Structure 1
């Protein structure tokens, strides 16, 4: 079988880029197109009768036609291309749709101008086809190539999201409407006060979970600063200074930044064995010399998406938050900023929503899935990166693969963020609302039928809920002395009914929750 499209280009230019999820090959003996399993990946097999020229420029057409525009491939190719040959290929058919795309991409990605006169006439074509990619609604017309640049970002930073069948379904989802719809099923007992108290609890839980993901135990002051940052998402424009201010709020005093990092950085663990020290490197951030331009690109991407407004808010939040964590612009705090940015972007896009959905708590419960989605970007980067440690144990990067950081595909990341949001709604937000609803209903019953101070009411309800709706024999006399036997019996009956009703409606075990929080 002969490689075609990106598989061909990878070999021809010796790019050493990790293979795509589906590689394209042509089988001279095949009479039809099919997709086959090839180990852990897949191959699209093209029939032998189709004509594919054995030259890199025609294969660029094949790549785009069959697998869309993969920006990191073209950014790598254009560093190695024979410019004179490439120019001659474009000039031969300058109005060809694929030639115009290749021409535009070369000048856009490299900042260099090919020796080709501007087109005088031709219909405008979109760079990214709407049927296959999320792109800006309007874009900018490039008069020279007659291409509408509807890319989400800029050559400094431009992630993509492909319109797969799964992603198309998520496009229609609204996580806040889903959250409200689930809470409304509680019925008339649901109150604004209950939602408000639940949200306050979840703000704290989000703060705690976000630090636990980093396997840190910050002091109370830092936790409070991060809590304040989360509560104030959406108040400030997203730019370099505002993100530095957030970093300053959430890290230890000695790690506060005044600018982006000035050295290379990696994520990993130190292994001490028999007196020797070794570094298990999981991920290396973008080269320090590229951080500023990539972050400029990140902020421009955010601005584009804010003005355009057509990309769903949670897609937008995914692009910005994961972009930040892969660039890794600071010496400390990148992971917490990453999760902060999900909420910040959502608030910028949908300011009418009064609460956050605690995604960090969901991620903490699904750490392996989080690692797996991060690895869709980090593993290919680490496979290509040439690095070492110097005598001072500082990491040194010997090759430049900035295109792997500038042009990522975040399709899998969107799916992950939606899954975590759904988990957060079902397992955190809804559960907390259910628990407080039960607690408030029982508290109202006591207030209507007995005269007890709040601290004693809280004590009684904790005992009853923790024990599944009844009081144990050992504590019964004590509670009867406060409420009386008849009121206690009615309280137990009501508690059992509410606990069982919540379990039947939502599969939420408020007894277990009460025991966890006690």
Structure 2
């Protein structure tokens, strides 16, 4: 434990890395380790410290705990505090283990060979670094989960006898974002949204359900392009809609991602298809110099293969037993941060949401929830969620501009895309899914019922084609249930005043409040 004893941990502070504490307190857990070992990592969303008051304070992104929570000012003390109160932050742990080297961790385990935290730390060291410590296999101590399932979402896992722990990490060392259990996520899960969707669908006649499904599918496709600021031709929207409708039918692999990109792009004359062979970023260019102004820097192209392999392993393994929306958030937002393509990343990112939900049977067969439409309505919140991690990541990426006004990443950043806190993303996605089930799905089925009644009532006294009836409806809808002078004088000049009045009454009977 000699190496750990030489490390100096901070005393009470009022500011940590330009972030002011609610009161004077001593950094604890991950914050203390980041400071003591000078780790270049994204800061956890919630930082911990211990103060002098005997009550816990949560304010401004800090959790100030009581004196009795204060850990020993050692590597073992702060690591134990972190695992006990803060859950797993794999990016911090990976960089910490590189900084400490094996000797400090071996000493920590030898000092408490049967301790549950020591054995979890031992497992995490070998899992994250790929290096085997010079320690004999554990022979005592009950099996404990690596991820505390009361803190963070985790599958059942399987026993790792060397450490006498249960490896329930929701991923591999190539890709393993984590999601904390929060009150918001617990409330969403308690709603049993798949059953709600099934109940709505069960009450809908088959023909109306088929039309509802077609409309929602097209709505999602159109919205996904709109999020990117694009207005493609209708045939591209429909083609992408068909791809979304098939989500979950094919296993996810590299070839499937490439196939999806070809569908999304359509005209590839000015886009390099395939996985990037150079850097990438999201942002603008300086108008005068053309230098990059990144809001987000994508994963290095050298890291893409292992990251994609990790995502595929997650989808085929842990995603099958995690909460479906949580799994969809991990996969989809992990993909968009990695940004493996030159173009098409955003739409494929949202496709992956449908892929997981459909694969898990979350939505009724044949029905696609228009998640992209819900995202479009919350576009500012969506961007804030994306930036909740990008903003913390960007200062840690060292880069230089290339001759083609792209970015070249100069430091090792792979771990920052493998391991991140996807909790805000899961909460946001759950809210979007809830809206599609509780609002969009019943609204559209109700609309079609009303429209069918309107059309039947019109056809009872007027001989009109379906196309003309639809045009009539749109005029009424745009003018609050009345036919405008333009409509009466042009498209529907043949109507008598009595017929026009009856049409307006029919519209109000179908679409007025019930």
- With the shorter chain as reference, the TM-score category is 0.7 to 0.9
Aligned twin of 2:38: 14
User: Which runs of no fewer than 5 residues in structure 2 stay unpaired?
Assistant: 1-11, 13-25
- The structure 2 residue matched to 1:32, chosen from 49, 54, 58, is 54
For the 8 Å contact 1:119–1:145, the answer to whether it is kept is: yes
Aligned twin of 1:510: none
User: Which runs of no fewer than 5 residues in structure 1 stay unpaired?
Assistant: 503-518
- The structure 1 residue matched to 2:209, chosen from 195, 202, 207, is 195
Work out the CA distance in 2 between the residues paired with 1:115 and 1:224. 59
Work out the CA distance in 2 between the residues paired with 1:24 and 1:443. 63
- The structure 2 residue matched to 1:79, chosen from 93, 98, 112, is 98
For the 8 Å contact 1:470–1:496, the answer to whether it is kept is: no
Work out the CA distance in 2 between the residues paired with 1:150 and 1:464. 58
Work out the CA distance in 2 between the residues paired with 1:423 and 1:277. 41
Aligned twin of 1:44: 64
Aligned twin of 2:142: 123
For the 8 Å contact 1:126–1:147, the answer to whether it is kept is: yes
Work out the CA distance in 1 between the residues paired with 2:373 and 2:70. 53
Aligned twin of 1:233: 247
- The structure 1 residue matched to 2:275, chosen from 256, 260, 263, is 260
For the 8 Å contact 2:188–2:430, the answer to whether it is kept is: yes
Aligned twin of 2:448: 436
Q: TM-score, normalised by structure 1?
A: 0.86
3-state DSSP of counterpart to 1:268: strand
- The structure 1 residue matched to 2:308, chosen from 295, 319, 326, is 295
For the 8 Å contact 2:290–2:405, the answer to whether it is kept is: no
For the 8 Å contact 1:317–1:341, the answer to whether it is kept is: yes
Aligned twin of 1:390: 402
Residues 1:444 and 1:65: Cα distance change in structure 2 (over 3 Å):
same
Aligned twin of 1:60: 79
Aligned twin of 2:47: 23
For the 8 Å contact 1:468–1:499, the answer to whether it is kept is: no
1:360 aligns with 2:360: no
Residues 1:471 and 1:228: Cα distance change in structure 2 (over 3 Å):
closer
What is the root-mean-square deviation in Å for CA atoms of aligned residues? 2.7
3-state DSSP of counterpart to 1:24: strand
For the 8 Å contact 1:6–1:23, the answer to whether it is kept is: yes
Where do residues 12-411 of structure 1 align in structure 2 (5 Å cutoff)? 12-27=36-51, 30-37=52-59, 40-47=60-67, 52-137=71-156, 139-179=157-197, 191-251=205-265, 252-254=267-269, 259-273=274-288, 276-305=289-318, 307=320, 309=321, 311-350=322-361, 352-411=364-423
How many pairs were matched up? 488
- 1:116-164 per-position Cα deviation (integer Å, ceiling 9, x unaligned): 0011233211111221121112x12111101110011001000111111
Which moved further from structure 2: 417-426 or 239-248?
417-426
3-state DSSP of counterpart to 2:295: strand
Work out the CA distance in 1 between the residues paired with 2:375 and 2:275. 27
Work out the CA distance in 1 between the residues paired with 2:32 and 2:439. 47
Residues 1:334 and 1:462: Cα distance change in structure 2 (over 3 Å):
closer
Aligned twin of 2:8: none
Q: How far did 1:183 drift?
A: 7.6
Q: How far did 1:177 drift?
A: 4.1
Work out the CA distance in 2 between the residues paired with 1:476 and 1:288. 61
Work out the CA distance in 1 between the residues paired with 2:454 and 2:109. 76
Work out the CA distance in 1 between the residues paired with 2:260 and 2:176. 24
Q: How far did 1:491 drift?
A: 4.2
Q: How far did 1:194 drift?
A: 2.7
Q: TM-score, normalised by structure 2?
A: 0.87
Residues 1:498 and 1:255: Cα distance change in structure 2 (over 3 Å):
same
Residues 1:255 and 1:84: Cα distance change in structure 2 (over 3 Å):
farther
Which moved further from structure 2: 277-286 or 483-492?
483-492
